[in-house]
Amino acid sequence: MHKILLVDDVKLLLELQKRFLASSVVQLFTASDGLEALQVARQVVPDLIVMDKYMPNMDGLACCREMKSDPALCHIPVIMVSNATHPVEMAEFKGMGIDTYLAKPLDGRLFLNAIKTFIPSIERRDPRLPCRMEVRLTVAGSTHAGVSEDISQGGIFVGTHLELNRGEELGISFVLPGSDVPTEACCRVAWRNKGSMPCKPQVSPGIGIEFIKITGSGMPLLRSSELKSFISAIISTAGPAVIIN
């Protein structure tokens, strides 16, 4: 299992990075400053380090300088996270052996793309979580019942015998566990699991649905926030990533 060390003095940002990596099978180690990062790195020798530039006690640049001068650590790729993207700073990063950098605020897609450069097995898709609930699909003005199998921030898999083609648009409505207000969305069919040779034989016949836009009259932004919170709560209790400290 690959090991990644996340270094940042802001706990909220560490939690955000953990969330981005929740669907990947990796060991995650954390440190709150450069001194702690050196200690952890020497203990576990991670496969990759993602480190903030500005931290107390020892900042990211000083920490990277120490690592690159240590024969036991100098081979470890380092991704530097910084608020600034000035060309002078970029040249400084390159001169210190930093492999790449990411600008704040962190974008989940760019974050995972950068990590995948060094660890190809990283999962870039939104984590899909088991979730069985009744859903209503609206196709060409007709409503059909279905049952969800799993859900992510970007989509949902629904068990149904509806014959829909990939790319076909439809509407969906469901009530998340713990909520009493339906979440509604405009969607499109991303993939189908049907026929004599289904894409995923272990999964029920149905369709993978991609959310295009959360809609409805009940404050779409609130419904989108509820979906994100629901998924985050599940990830925080049972995600594939293994959090060490």
pLDDT in tens, 63-74: 999 999 999 999
pLDDT at 87: 60
Q: For residues 95 and 91, what is the distance between their CA atoms, to the nearest angstrom?
A: 6
Q: For residues 166 and 155, what is the distance between their CA atoms, to the nearest angstrom?
A: 14
pLDDT in tens, 173-211: 999 888 888 899 999 998 888 755 455 555 678 999 999
pLDDT in tens, 11-35: 988 988 988 887 788 999 999 999 9
Which residues, in sequence order, are bridge partners of residue 136?
A: 145, 173
198-200-206-208 Cα dihedral, nearest 10 degrees: -120
Q: What are the structural domains of the chain? A: 2-124 (3.40.50.2300), 129-234 (2.40.10.220)
* 18-22, 144-148, 189-193, 223-227: least confidently modelled range: 223-227
Q: Contacts by 236-239 with C-beta closer than 8 Å and gap 24+?
A: 239/18, 239/22, 239/23, 239/127
Of all helices (H) and strands (E), which one includes residue 196? none
Q: Can you tell me which residue has the tokens 């702690």?
A: 36
CB 210 within 8 A of CB 190: yes
* Averaged pLDDT, 141-148: 94
pLDDT at 145: 95
Nearest to 166 by CA among 186, 198, 138, 188: 188
Nearest to 180 by CA among 223, 232, 128, 129: 223
